[in-house]
Amino acid sequence: MKKYWTIFRVELENTIAFRGPAFIWMLFDLLWIVVYPFIWVFIIRAQGGEIQGWNVTAIILYFVFMAVMNNFILMHPEVHVGDEIYTGNFSNYIVKPLSYLMNAFIHETAWKVVRTILFVPILFLLILIILRLGGFTIHANQAPFAILVALLAVPIYFLSAFIIGLTSFWLEDSSIARTIFWTTSGLFGGQYAPFELMPRFLDRIASALPFKYAIYFPLRVASQTMSSAEILRGVLMQVIWMIALFILAKLVWKKGLTRYSAVGR
């Protein structure tokens, strides 16, 4: 593990040196609580002040919680991995005695640490908004589950994004795959709206995909009271998806290596 600690330290130093992009991406993610709440507030007020049990206060709280969860859970190795494969810099890792998957995770973790530090002042502001609008409804005995669910959500989203990054083995330009991934994960992860406000068929599709358990489920556990049975079912699905995505990432990795060739880009 010493080599991975060294890699993390180097990646952390590089990210601190170029912290500007981390700050810009953090601000971009905050658009969730700048744009979408206003859209839904307008719709809810036009419908008499409530839709499917969601009022103005509840929808604002939803997107505030979404901004907090996004900052701590979401990682985006698809950009870094895709660029390294496309440029040929990926060749540097083939002969090294380390796991490229672990290296990508360390790279994203270092980025996440810096982003979280930059996010702290905004986090305090968001907590004040949450308390002002009604506070936390989660019970104390549910808090450990909220932490567990959030920790399980990280590898689910990371592995999904990592697999998208590996599509650069087959695609000349993986930006289209990344755009589809971001749109799909946002829609079926509940980033655009709570599933109660979506058509039922979208909820059914989301339940068959990993994004709901990486984004929406952790948010629900952190912001609402849920039964133990609901939480345990969700945790079971998280574990299943984590194992399935890990196996799929390994298979795509092995298949991709047979197609890889560096041409001196």
Q: Which of 18, 21, 61 is nearest to 223 (CA)?
A: 61
Matching residue, tokens 């969700």: 234
pTM > 0.75: yes or no: yes
Q: What local confidence, expressed as pLDDT, does residue 11 receive?
A: 76
Mean pLDDT of the chain: 84
**pLDDT digit string, tens, across residues 247-260:** 999 999 999 888 87
Q: Which residues have C-beta within 8 Å of that of residue 91, sequence separation ≥ 6?
A: 262
Are the beta carbons of 209 and 188 closer than 8 angstroms? yes
Residue 141 per-residue DSSP state: G
Cα distance between residue 22 and residue 171, in whole Å: 27
**Torsions phi, psi of 139, nearest 5?**
-80, 155
Domains of the chain: which residue ranges?
26-99+131-257
Helix (H/G/I), strand (E/B), else coil: 51: strand
**Torsions phi, psi of 226, nearest 5?**
-125, 155
For the record, the structure tokens of 38 come out as 């206003």
Cα distance between residue 193 and residue 16, in whole Å: 34
**pLDDT digit string, tens, across residues 154-208:** 999 999 999 999 998 888 778 889 999 999 999 999 988 889 888 889 999 999 9
**Torsions phi, psi of 2, nearest 5?**
-60, -40
Q: Which residues have C-beta within 8 Å of that of residue 134, sequence separation ≥ 6?
A: 57, 61
Share of the chain above pLDDT 70, in %: 91
